[in-house]
Amino acid sequence: MKNPSSNFQAQESGSNTTERPSRINRRVALQWISSATAAIPLLEREAPAAEKPGVRPPSVFAKGYGPDPDIIRKYKPGDLWPLTFTKDQRLLMIVLCDIIMPADETSPSASSLNVHDFIDEWISSPYPAQAADRNIILKGLDLLDEKAVRRGKPKFVSLKLKDQLVICEDLARKAKADVRRFPGSFFYRLRNLVAGGYYTTPAGMKDIGYRGNVPQAEWNGPPAEVLKKLNLPPQ
């Protein structure tokens, strides 16, 4: 992304920091820039190589958001760089999301919070830290379908939930034994991303018991029942 600060500087001339005449201009400029940069990699990007069995797709050629992104904008997966999943992979991820973070009496499932799209955004990231996850997760998705074939079904998603759970429980044990070794590494990374993706949504934050991020006139410390439980005197 081109740094917009050069435009910003010219617009800032004659203003001071208590006024904000250039804010709209900058916002508009940033939106223009990010939509332009989002469009280019789509054209430049190679066609998904996943058509050929056994061949891993290349790293994406998208660019990052640059050192001066619009942080006020609310981003959705796909806004900044093209996504990776095929229709089948996306469907499989929806199933995995709901195995890892299922709905229950008090909170919704991960797929209903679009966590699967976050996973797609993550593995499609142009940044180096996510490149390893891209390989591990795509490889792991293939492995799950292979395991289904061995059980007489064409795909993991065609298995009964009971059988899907047996496979995942086995992977969870492998992950606990060694988080670096495939396929335990696949389930470990997937679980981290699905659960982390879940708990960073408002519904997930509520479920985990986070009650903050709301403005308050006063902060009075923990309520009396908390102090009582901890055997502490009133503050």
Partner 1 sequence: MPVISPKQKQREYDVVIVGSGAGGGQMAYTLTMEGIKVLLLEAGRMFDPVGETAMFHTWDMAPLRGVATPDKQKDFYDASIESGWEIPGEPYTNASEDKLRQFAWWRQRMMGGRTNHWGRVSLRNGPYDFKTRSRQGIGFDWPISYNDLASWYDKAEMLVGIFGDSEGIENSPDSSPGVLLPPPKFRAGELLARERSKKLGVSVVPVHRAVLTKQQDAQRVPGKLHPRNKKAQRLLAANMRLRLKCFFATACHRGCSIKAAFDSTSVYLTPALNTGNLHILPNSMAREVTLNKAGKAKGVTFIDKTTGAEHHAAGRVIVLAAGSQESVRLLLNSKSNRFPDGFANSSGKVGKYLTDSVASRVSGQIPALEALPLHNEDGVVGQQAYMPWWLAGQQHKLNFPGGYKALLVSGRKMPSLNTGKSFDRVSGGDGIPFGKKLKEDARRYHGSFQSIGAQGAMAANDDCYCELDPQVKDKWGIPVLRFHWKWSDDELRQVSHQQQAMTEILEAMGARFFHAPYVDKPEKAISQGGKIIHEVGGAIMGDNPEKSVTNQWGQTWDVPNLILGDGATFPGTADKNPTLTIMALAYRAADHLAGELKKGNL
Scan residues 150-179 and list those touching partner 1 (CB under 8 A): 165, 168-169, 171-176
Minimum CB distance to partner 1 smaller for 43 or for 217: 217
Q: Select the span of 59-67, 83-91, 134-142, 144-152 touching partner 1 (CB under 8 A).
A: 59-67
Kindly state whether residue 192 participates in binding partner 1, applying the rule CB under 8 A.
Answer: yes
In Å, what is the CA distance from 92 to each residue of 8, 59, 165, 215?
45, 21, 14, 40
Cβ within 8 Å of residue 190, ≥6 positions away: 96, 100, 119, 137, 140
Kindly state whether residue 209 participates in binding partner 1, applying the rule CB under 8 A.
Answer: yes
Smallest distance, partner 1 to C-beta of residue 33, A: 14
Q: Select the span of 51-59, 83-91, 149-157, 185-193 touching partner 1 (CB under 8 A).
A: 185-193
From candidates 53, 54, 128, 152, binder to partner 1 by CB under 8 A: 128
| Contact code string over 134-153 relative to partner 1, x by CB under 8 A | --------------------
Kindly state whether residue 131 participates in binding partner 1, applying the rule CB under 8 A.
Answer: no
Q: Which of residues 66-125 bind partner 1 (CB under 8 A)?
A: 66-69, 71-72, 74-75, 79-80, 99-102, 104, 107, 113, 118, 121-122, 125
Smallest distance, partner 1 to C-beta of residue 85, A: 16
Q: Give the total of residues touching partner 1 (CB under 8 A).
A: 91
From candidates 2, 5, 32, 154, binder to partner 1 by CB under 8 A: 5
